Amino acid sequence: MTVHIGAEPGSIAETVLMPGDPLRAKWAAETFLDDPVCVNQVRGMLGFTGTWKGNRVTIHGSGMGMPSLSIYANELIRDFGAKTLVRIGSCGAMQDHVKLRDVIIAMTASSYSTPSASFFRDLSYAPCADWSLLRAAAAAAEAKGSTTHVGGIYSADVFYDERPDLDEQMTRHGVLAVEMEAAELYTVAARLGARALAVLTVSDHLRTHEALPSSDRERSFGEMVEIALEAAFS
C-alpha cells in the first residue's frame, strides 16, 4: 500500500490503463476485463485488476491534470512494479483537419511545465511516447477503421486558458490537440524505466468550438480502451 493507492502488494498488473475519470476506469474494467476486482478506492480514485484475453491488466484513474497523474504514475511504477502505462482520455483538437471523434496517438507532448520540470533546469526536455506502443496502437487503430492522427500534442496546466495567442502558436506549429496529463506520464515513465503512451479521442474542437455529446463519449472511450489493450499486448 502507498499513500494514495490502497492495493495489496501484487494486486496491480504490469500493464496499467489510465483514464482520467475513476468512474471510466470502473466502466472499462466491467466492460472489457474478465473477473475485474477493485484494488483501490483511496480518495475515490478507483483501480481494478482483471484479465483481457488471458493477460493481466489494471485500469486505474489518474485524476485530472499532471500533478494528480504524477502521484499515481510514480506509485504505480515505483511501488507496484507497473511497466507499461497507457493513458486513455479525451482532448481538444487544434487543427482543422482533425475532427470530433478522431483518435490521436501522441508521439510527443509539449508543455509549459510539468511536475518534473525542475529536473531539467533550463533544458526544454521533449517527452515522447514509447515507440513499440505507439507503432502497435497506430496499427490497432487503423485496423479498426478509426480516423487516426499520430503526432505531437500539448499538455496544458489549465483548462480555462485565457491566452488565445498560445493556442494559435500551437496550431501554427502542428500540434494536433490539447489535454492535461501526457507530458508528465511520458516523463515519469522515462525516468523510472517504464513504457508509456497516450491514446486520445477528440471530444471538443478549439477552432470550431464543437463538442461531443456525452452519449458519444462512451462509444469513443470504448474504442480507445480496445486500442490501448491491443497495443499493450501486441
Residue 88 marked in a binding site: yes
Residue nearer to ligand ADE on the CB measure, 50 or 92:
92
Contact flag: residue 68 with ligand ADE (CB under 6 A): no
Q: Which stretch binds ligand ADE (CB under 6 A): 40-48, 86-94, 98-106, 138-146?
A: 86-94
| Residue 57, φ and ψ in degrees, nearest 5 | -145, 145
Cell of 55: 493477460
Q: Which stretch binds ligand ADE (CB under 6 A): 2-10, 70-78, 88-96, 183-191?
A: 88-96
DSSP string for 91-127: EEE-STT--TT-EEEEEEEEES--TTGGGGTT-----
* Spatial separation of the C-alpha atoms in residues 231 and 234, rounded to whole Å: 5
Q: Which of 13, 18, 137, 180 binds ligand ADE (CB under 6 A)?
A: 180
122 is catalytic: no
* Spatial separation of the C-alpha atoms in residues 74 and 54, rounded to whole Å: 26
Residue nearer to ligand ADE on the CB measure, 97 or 121:
97
Q: Which of 25, 39, 71, 91 binds ligand ADE (CB under 6 A)?
A: 91
229 to each of 92, 109, 175, how far by Cα in Å? Answer: 23, 21, 25
Contact yes or no for 62/68 (Cβ under 8 A): yes
Q: Which of 75, 130, 167, 179 binds ligand ADE (CB under 6 A)?
A: 179
| Contact code string over 110-149 relative to ligand ADE, x by CB under 6 A | ----------------------------------------
Q: How many other C-beta atoms lie within 10 A of the C-beta of residue 153?
A: 28
Q: Which stretch binds ligand ADE (CB under 6 A): 1-9, 34-42, 67-75, 202-210?
A: 202-210
Residue 12 DSSP one-character state: S
State which residue has the least CB distance to ligand ADE. 92
Secondary structure of residue 72 in the 3-state scheme: helix
Contact yes or no for 155/66 (Cβ under 8 A): yes
Known binding positions for a purine D-ribonucleoside: 4, 179-181, 203-204
Please report, as ranges, the residues that interact with ligand ADE according to CB under 6 A.
Answer: 90-92, 156, 159, 178-180, 203-204, 206
Active site residues: 204
